[in-house]
Amino acid sequence: MATARQVAANRANAKRSTGPKTAAGKLKASRNAFRHGLSTSLPIDPLSPARADAIVEAFLAGRESADESVVATEFAQAQLELLRIRSIRTDMLERINTSSADALHRLLSIDRYETRALRRRRRAFPAA
């Protein structure tokens, strides 16, 4: 059974960890994932279908079955996402102020998205 002191501490912690209360705080928190746009799906780019088709054709290279076509499409989407992430990282590296801990932290946060894209690509085609 929890003591009165533990119950008071739990309630105090809960008050601090329930998120923003003001409209300004909620608005700021709602934009947390939009700093670089990597948490969203691939943007609509007129060149993306052509690039994906080129990757799929290179992947299939003369062999074609329904299963391989699906695998090739998943692989191509993951590869395009990986290229987009690496492009954003390059842009950030060009503009980064290396003395800023916040800028370095944002740069390191991109690793999560790259790891996710690599995992998707590996799942689509384990030998890649």
Transcribe 28-75 into DSSP letters.
HHHTGGGSSSTTSPPP--TTHHHHHHHHHHHHHTT---HHHHHHHHHH
Same domain, 23 and 64: no
More confident residue, 80 or 126: 80
pLDDT at residue 44 in the model: 56
Residue 113 CB neighbour total at 10 angstroms: 19
Same domain, 55 and 80: yes
User: What pLDDT band is residue 3 in, cutting at 50, 70 and 90?
Assistant: very high
- Print the domain residue range for 17: 1-30
Same domain, 24 and 42: no
- The reported pTM is 0.55
Domain count, the chain: 2
Same domain, 100 and 82: yes
Same domain, 97 and 60: yes
pLDDT tens digits for 11-69? 988 888 777 888 988 888 777 666 666 666 655 566 677 777 777 777 777 666 666 77
More confident residue, 39 or 105: 105
